[in-house]
Each structure stands twice: as C-alpha cells, then as structure tokens.
C-alpha cells in the first residue's frame, strides 16, 4: 500500500504500474489525453484575445499558453490572464471562449494516436473507467461524443463540480468513490502537470501522455511513466507486464 501523506491520502510514487495489480479501474483526463485539443483551445484564445487587444495585439505563443492556461481550472486561467479584472468578468470571457472552442472541435477534433487501441485493451479487461476533467461538462460530453466514447465511460467527473478542481485530488477521489474502486488498484492517463499532481495527490499512479507539455514538467509532477502517445512501445511493455501479473494471480486463485 502507498505511504500516507499528512492529510491521510495515500501518496503515489514512481514505480511499476504492475504494483497496482489486480487493476480495478483506469481513469482518463480528456483535453490532451483523449484528444489533442490544446491547439484548438489555443486558437480560440488567440482569436478572442486579439479581439480585445490583449498583449498589445501580439498573439499569445505556445509557451504562454502552456504556462498560464493549459490544464488550469477556469478560475486559475482567468486570474492568470486578467489579474486586474473582476473574477466574474474573467470567467465570462472564458465561458465565451469555450463556445468558440466547441465550434472548432466539431470540425477538427482528432483522437490521440493509438487511443482506440488502449480503449479496446481497457474494455477487453473489463476494467471500470471514468473521464476526469477540469473542462466544463458541456465541453466534456461533446468531446467524448465526437470521439465515439459515450458508451465507454461509466462516469464523467468535472473538476468544477467538486470541492476543488485539479491540481487538487478531489476530482480523482470522487471518481474512485463513484466507481467503487481503490486508489491502490487504479491508474490514470493524464497529459498536464496540473492533472498529474492531482492524480499523485489522490494516491494513484499516473501515465503522462506528452502530447504538448514538456516531459520534465510531467516527471517533476510525479508521473510514474511518460509516453509519447498510446502507440508508444513503453506503454505496451508495461501493459503486457500487467497482463502477466494478473495471469499469475488467476493461476494462484484457480
């Protein structure tokens, strides 16, 4: 069992995912994890910020987007973007930006490479699964639908509907509760440092998909494994190890 932190939540550490065998559940973030949506979010922010003359009309670049917006809750992003604005005004801007994003997503959303393969692996093993995201529910359900995963997920946990969003652990703790599984026998797919910290704080090992975020930031956040995408041989080596360990358990129980 993972060592407990001062707040009583077990702390995940680096190590093999096979230590979580027998697996009960697999949890997925959405933006950047199921789909490479950050470029669409970036484009929506760029367009709307240019309309209000933000940064003297200079478009925000990738570094600014990653450091101030990607993986953040709406409150944190609003405060980073508009520190001098009333929070309510900043949140209204973000709400309008999400509508712009949804229109782009309907035309251009693409799954992360190899997603269908890992989804099939999870289904074949009968593991429970949930999507856990800081995105608004309307966005989350649209993306899940566009990716053809509506029937795949048994729960969709939205950070804004929890006590605190990621990087706090509450969204992942809520997923464990809804699925009635333990942190010790669950693992997570994430793509941001913020989401990775949330998973680690919940005591769950995290596989970080380096879709857009720097690998060092994911490693520093406590990721157990970093992969390029779902076709990465490193991932399938680990999943095969899980299969071998679970086969041993079944043999002993037989």
User: What residues are labeled active site?
Assistant: 29, 31
**Can you read off the two tokens belonging to residue 71?**
């993986």
Cα torsion for 172, 219, 137, 26, to the nearest 10°? -50
Helix %, strand %, coil % of the chain (to 5): 50, 10, 35
- Tokens representing 100? 């712009």
The long-range contacts involving 244-250, CB below 8 angstroms and separated by at least 24 positions, are 244/18, 245/18, 245/21, 246/21, 246/22, 246/23, 246/125, 249/21, 249/22
Buried b (16+ CB within 10 A) or exposed e, 128-145: bbbbbbbbbeebbbbbbe
Closest to 26 measured CA to CA, from 167, 234, 230: 230
Contact assessment for residue 47 and residue 151, using Cβ atoms and an 8 Å cutoff? no
């Amino acid at each position: 069992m993972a060592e407990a932190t001062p707040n009583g939540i077990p702390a995940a550490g680096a190590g093999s995912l096979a230590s979580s065998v027998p697996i009960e559940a697999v949890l997925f973030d959405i933006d950047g994890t199921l789909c490479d949506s950050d470029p669409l979010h970036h484009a929506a922010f760029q367009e709307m910020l240019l309309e209000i003359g933000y940064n003297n009309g200079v478009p925000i670049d990738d570094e600014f987007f990653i450091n101030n917006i990607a993986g953040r809750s709406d409150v944190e992003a609003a405060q980073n973007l508009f520190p001098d604005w009333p929070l309510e005004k900043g949140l209204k801007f973000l709400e309008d930006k999400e509508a712009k994003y949804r229109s782009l997503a309907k035309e251009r959303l693409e799954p992360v490479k190899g997603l269908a393969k890992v989804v099939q692996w999870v289904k074949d093993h009968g593991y429970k699964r949930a999507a856990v995201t800081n995105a608004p529910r309307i966005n989350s359900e649209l993306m899940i639908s566009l990716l053809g995963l509506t029937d795949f997920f048994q729960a969709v946990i939205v950070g804004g509907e929890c006590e605190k969003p990621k990087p706090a652990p509450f969204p992942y703790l809520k997923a464990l509760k809804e699925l009635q599984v333990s942190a010790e026998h669950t693992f997570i797919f994430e793509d941001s440092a913020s989401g990775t910290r949330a998973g680690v704080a919940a005591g769950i090992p995290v596989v970080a998909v380096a879709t857009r975020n720097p690998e060092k930031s994911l490693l520093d956040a406590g990721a157990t494994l970093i992969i390029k995408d779902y076709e990465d041989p490193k991932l399938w080596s680990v999943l095969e190890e899980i299969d071998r360990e679970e086969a041993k358990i079944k043999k002993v129980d037989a």
